[in-house]
Structure 1
């Protein structure tokens, strides 16, 4: 009968100790790495919070409503004078003003942002136009054709923006193409 020694050998014990030491070192290094990453992210977050606070604190009514610089005034007057001269030479914006002024008393479809309501009892021609629009995936083509491009719309600006004196005087005229 062969008897096995129930006591582990010294070599086996040393191997187990080395494994535990290696595992402890790996665990400690990983914990140090995770803690340093957390601290770095926390410092970065604090930096971004400080910069955003500085940006929000720097925006006040005093900063927004400053007087324009003298150089900007010079450029502005130059642009305004040039725009007036160009308009006189070309006759620009005269046609747009006359077209707006001719039908001011009549209320048309889409005036002041009101919807276009197509009645149910319309002629067969109108029904055909609406049906053709549905077939060509131009669902609101008939209603869109009724609305004038030069209609009057309500002012969508905020009340703060409507207060006089918020914008510079004599801005150059622009047109949307």
Structure 2
């Protein structure tokens, strides 16, 4: 007669809860993503290399100049400076997410075009993101408010950027496109 070699019942101390799912859930431009890779990967590389959202630029390993800014829960944040592991449950908006669902430009984007505030274009995504953050905090920003933005432009577009931000603020107050 063969003996039954069934596994012994687990003891309460041996039962370990298992996570319902693995990975980092986050919303990017309104779409849900689940990152199952390295939690130390900077958000910038996830956006550019995994999702192919390349509007956000690399501005140095510490986010110098603001080219790598995105909105995380509405606040301008350096995408190179935040690891994926810190983003579970967060909402991220990149420059690609500023336009409406039909591709219509945000008043801020239109104002940048109207004021010719683009120059070479490398810093423009960061300026747009920083300006969005500013306009949510200050509906009618002053020159001093604008001067606090961390962005650098080597093309010399700062004066036109200032005009674009003010134009967008006026447009947004009126509920019209710039």
In which range does the TM-score fall when normalised by the shorter chain? under 0.3
TM-score normalized with structure 1 length:
0.21
Q: Greater CA radius of gyration, 1 or 2?
A: 1
Relative to total residues, which structure has the larger helix share, 1 or 2?
1
Which one has the bigger strand percentage? 2
Q: TM-score, normalised by structure 2?
A: 0.21
